[in-house]
């Protein structure tokens, strides 16, 4: 069984490129060139130089004494939070902005939810000298205000998305609209494994550096060839795709994805696309997302802006259907509690997105010998206010 995209851009029934004709030539240009560029030795050399010297890779695989004791297994944190920009997003944006330059594009647009992808895109653009426009939901601009200021300081223009729920879905719509209006010179740097083919595959490949490093780190720290578990949070699913990538064909590695259940799966305020969604066409691909019976997209809810998206990448929809990855729901409260727990006991403040992966530990029964890797996809500095308000409300 293959978990790779097929020649038409599909993972089983999911994927493809459902874009209006105006965007067809752009998507086609990228489809014809992305693999050639990614395989090019000079490109690889430049990207790996930037990933190590600029972004700070390889990121450590840190054995968490606290979590190991609490959950009775050997638990490791893959410290993507230590990447420059504060999250794994920089792995993808450096790669895509380099691809854009190879294609001769002169302007970058991006969408952002929590601001992590926006900041990482703004950094890559500042470094590689391309103008950058980031669309961000108006609601997210308020709850992630520090990231808005960071993007501006980095020279990016931040444009509020004012339609719909004013969150990630709407920022994505606006970025697509910008691209439609500027197809000649603009490259759309998508932040997750979503969008029309070849984006899901390209982003997964750029993020696969996470699991590539694990292939060396796990044996040298544990003596085992592979971890028993890899756990990651999923919104669109880029850090999960990167963390799972090199283990997909090794069924002995159990892969767990934590979906944002918001206020609970049955609450009507959730963002668990695989658990609550239905197959349809959104943002350029056939995938699963939360929608009404009439096919109108539902507004998602998650305390974490980065997971506050009604859909999921087509690869994950497929991995869910063929049961290669187990998807677990994690509520806002469970994630916040897990984030606070890690802060107090390990001195690491995780992004609320990543805290969903930590909270999933509660739902799994481990053996003492199990080696468990959690992708700590980002740091929680951007979430201070949410943590503070939550703690204050509890006390």
Residue ranges that bind another protein, judged by CB under 8 A: 8, 16-22, 24-26, 163-164, 169, 173, 176-177, 180-184, 278, 280-284, 291, 293-297
Give the pairing of strands 14-15 and 10-11. Answer: antiparallel
64 has catalytic annotation: no
Distance from CA of residue 33 to its chain's centroid?
A: 23
How near is the Cβ of 143 to another protein at its closest, in Å? 21
Give 73 or 189: the residue with its C-beta nearer to another protein.
189
Give 11 or 245: the residue with its C-beta nearer to another protein.
11
- Buried b / exposed e over 217-253, threshold 16 CB at 10 Å, is bbeebbeeebbbbbbbbbbbbbbbbbbbbbbbeeeeb
Q: Strand runs (DSSP E) across 138-289, as ranges?
A: 157-161, 186-189, 229-234, 254-262, 278-282, 285-289
Q: How far apart are CA 295 and CA 157, in angstroms?
A: 33
C-alpha distances in angstroms, 63 versus 91, 221, 374?
23, 9, 10
Q: Which helix (H) or strand (E) holds 192?
A: none
Q: How far apart are CA 205 and CA 4, in angstroms?
A: 10
372 prior amide bond cis, ω within 30 = no
CA-closest candidate to residue 118, choices 155, 173, 83:
155
CA-closest candidate to residue 72, choices 328, 362, 375, 333:
362
Q: Which of 111, 213, 259, 334 is catalytic?
A: 111
Q: Which of 238, 243, 354, 377 is catalytic?
A: 377
Q: How far apart are CA 147 and CA 350, in angstroms?
A: 16
Residue 23 backbone dihedrals phi, psi, to 5 degrees: -90, -10
165 has catalytic annotation: no
Give 64 or 291: the residue with its C-beta nearer to another protein.
291
Give 164 or 219: the residue with its C-beta nearer to another protein.
164
How near is the Cβ of 180 to another protein at its closest, in Å? 5
* Paired tokens of 345: 């006991």
How near is the Cβ of 187 to another protein at its closest, in Å? 15
How near is the Cβ of 296 to another protein at its closest, in Å? 4
**Scanning the structure block, which residue is given the tokens 């390209």?**
202
Give 170 or 332: the residue with its C-beta nearer to another protein.
170
How near is the Cβ of 393 to another protein at its closest, in Å? 32
89 has catalytic annotation: yes
Instruction: Kindly state the greatest CA–CA separation across the chain.
Output: 56
CA-closest candidate to residue 209, choices 91, 371, 84, 376:
91
How near is the Cβ of 300 to another protein at its closest, in Å? 12
Give 21 or 252: the residue with its C-beta nearer to another protein.
21
Give 235 or 350: the residue with its C-beta nearer to another protein.
235
Q: How far apart are CA 266 and CA 109, in angstroms?
A: 36
Q: How far apart are CA 81 and CA 58, in angstroms?
A: 12
Q: Which of 78, 89, 105, 169 is catalytic?
A: 89
How near is the Cβ of 298 to another protein at its closest, in Å? 8
How near is the Cβ of 8 to another protein at its closest, in Å? 7
Q: Which residues are catalytic?
A: 89, 111, 377
């Amino acid at each position: 069984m293959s978990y790779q995209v097929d020649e038409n851009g599909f993972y089983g029934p999911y994927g493809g490129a459902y874009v209006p004709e105006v965007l067809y030539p752009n998507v086609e240009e990228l489809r014809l060139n992305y693999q050639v560029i990614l395989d090019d030795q000079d490109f690889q050399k430049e990207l790996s130089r930037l990933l190590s010297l600029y972004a700070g890779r390889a990121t450590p695989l840190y054995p968490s004494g606290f979590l190991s004791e609490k959950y009775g297994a050997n638990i490791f944190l893959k410290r993507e939070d230590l990447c420059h920009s504060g999250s794994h997003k920089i792995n993808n944006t450096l790669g895509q902005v380099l691809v854009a330059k190879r294609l001769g594009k002169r302007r970058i647009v991006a969408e952002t939810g929590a601001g992590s992808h926006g900041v990482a895109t703004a950094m890559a653009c500042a470094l590689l000298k391309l103008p950058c426009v980031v669309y961000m939901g108006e609601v997210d601009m308020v709850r992630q205000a520090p990231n808005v200021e960071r993007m501006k300081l980095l020279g990016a223009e931040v444009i509020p998305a004012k339609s719909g729920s004013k969150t990630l879905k709407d920022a994505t719509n606006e970025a697509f609209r910008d691209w439609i209006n500027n197809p000649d010179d603009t490259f759309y740097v998508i932040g997750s494994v979503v969008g029309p083919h070849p984006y899901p595959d390209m982003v997964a490949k750029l993020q696969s550096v996470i699991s590539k490093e694990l292939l060396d780190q796990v044996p040298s720290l544990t003596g085992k060839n592979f971890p028993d578990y890899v756990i990651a949070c999923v919104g669109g699913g880029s850090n999960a795709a990167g963390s799972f990538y090199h283990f997909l064909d090794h069924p002995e590695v159990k892969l767990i994805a934590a979906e944002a259940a918001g206020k609970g799966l049955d609450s009507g305020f959730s963002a668990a696309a695989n658990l609550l969604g239905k197959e349809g066409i959104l943002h350029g691909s056939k995938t699963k997302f939360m929608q009404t019976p009439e096919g109108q997209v539902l507004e998602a809810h998650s305390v974490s802006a980065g997971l506050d998206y009604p859909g999921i990448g087509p690869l994950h929809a497929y991995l869910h259907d063929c049961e290669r990855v187990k998807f677990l729901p994690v509520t806002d409260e469970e994630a916040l509690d897990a984030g606070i727990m890690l802060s107090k006991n390990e001195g690491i403040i995780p992004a609320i997105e990543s805290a969903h992966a930590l909270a999933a530990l509660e739902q799994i029964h481990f053996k003492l010998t199990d080696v468990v890797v959690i992708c700590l996809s980002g740091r929680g500095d951007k979430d201070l206010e949410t943590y503070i308000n939550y703690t204050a409300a509890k006390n």
